[in-house]
Structure 1
C-alpha cells in the first residue's frame, strides 16, 4: 500500500506541475487534500507518512478513531455536508470546513468556536452547476451571504468551494471553475476583514488539472490517490 501511494503521489505531482506550467502558476500554490473518508486508519497513516499533510474526511463518527491516533500529524479538512448537530465535534478538530452553505450552520460554527475559543477556516460552498443533487448556495446568493457573516468572530471565509459534475471529458468542467474564480474576485473586492477568500477548493480526481488551470489552490483527491477502499455506509 505504501509503495502504491508513493507512486500515485509522484504521478499526481507531475500532473500538477504540468497544469501549473500551462497556466503560468507556481505548483507550490496548489495543495492536495487527501480524501481518506472511505479509507482505513492504516491508509490514512500511509498518506501522512508520504508527506501529504492535508486530510479530507466527511463522516464525524468514522473519523474519531483517526483523529485520536493521527490528529496532531495532519491538517484536517471537513469536506462533506455538515449537519448543525455535528458542528460541536468538528470545530476544534478540523482546521478547515469546505461546506459552509447556510446561515444556521455559520451561527452554529460561531457558537462552538466561541465556546472552544478557536477560529475555523470556512469555504463557502457554491452550487455553480445548479444540480439539484448538490448542496451549496446559488452563485447570486454568495455576496450577500458573505456580508451576513461579517460580524462573526470565529469564522474566517478563506475561500469558495464547488463540485463540478462528473464529465467524461474534463474540459467540460472548465466553465464551472471559471465561474467560481469570478465569484472569488467579487468576494475579495468587498474587502471584508473576515473574508480574505484567498483560496479556491475545486477539482477532484477526474478534473483537477482543469481546476488548477482555473485557479484552484486546494484539490480534493481520493480515488486517484488511495482508491475506493471502503464503501460508504450512509
Structure 2
C-alpha cells in the first residue's frame, strides 16, 4: 500500500487528507522507495569533494595536478582546532611551589633527531649520455650544460615538489629545476618528496620522462607510488639532472 507523510509527520494511507489528523496532504512527502525517483532530498546538504588545500585546484585523482598535493597520505587538516589536552595530575607534575626544570637534563625533553638529510642537485654527464643514446625526437637537440653549479636543499617539512616553475599554471616547486641551466626533460610537476614519520620517499607524479632511482638504465619507478629513499640514494630526472640524498653537511 502506498503511504505518504503529512506536513505534521503522520503516516497516511490517503493522499488527499491525512487519515490521522485530517491535514491537507499538499505538502506531503512520498518516500523515494515508493516513488522510485531516487532524487536527493533538497533539505539535506550533499557532500562536496574538497579541493587542494594549498592552491584550491579541484581534486581529480590522488595528486593535485598543479602542486602535487597528496590527498591520500596527507588529507587537509580540520579547520576547527582540537580541544586542548588537560595538564597532568599532581602525581605526574612537579611538586607544588617548585620551579620547572629546564635545559638538556630536564625530564621529558624531546630527543634530538639523529641527523638531518639534504638533497644535492647537479648535472650528471653519464646519465645525459645514456638519455641521448636512447634516442627520441628531442635527443638530437639537447646539449649538456657547460656549467651547472650544485645546489643543496634541506629535507624539511612533509613534502617537497620537484619540477619547473610555471607562472601561467601557478606552479612553484620547492626544488625548482627551471633555474639556469634549465633541464627541458623535467615536467612542471615531476615528482614529490614525502616525509612519513621521518622516513623519506619519492613519488613520480606521472611525469613525461619518468623518475629513476640509483640505476637510470633500469625501468622508471611506478607513477603515483611512494618509493623509499635512504642516504646515498640518487634520483635521476629529466635529461641530465641527478638528486643525491645524503646527510646534511
Q: Which has the higher contact order (CA 8 A, sep 6+)?
A: 1
- Shared fold (TM-score greater than 0.5)? no
Structure with bigger strand share is 2
Structure number having the greater helix percentage: 1
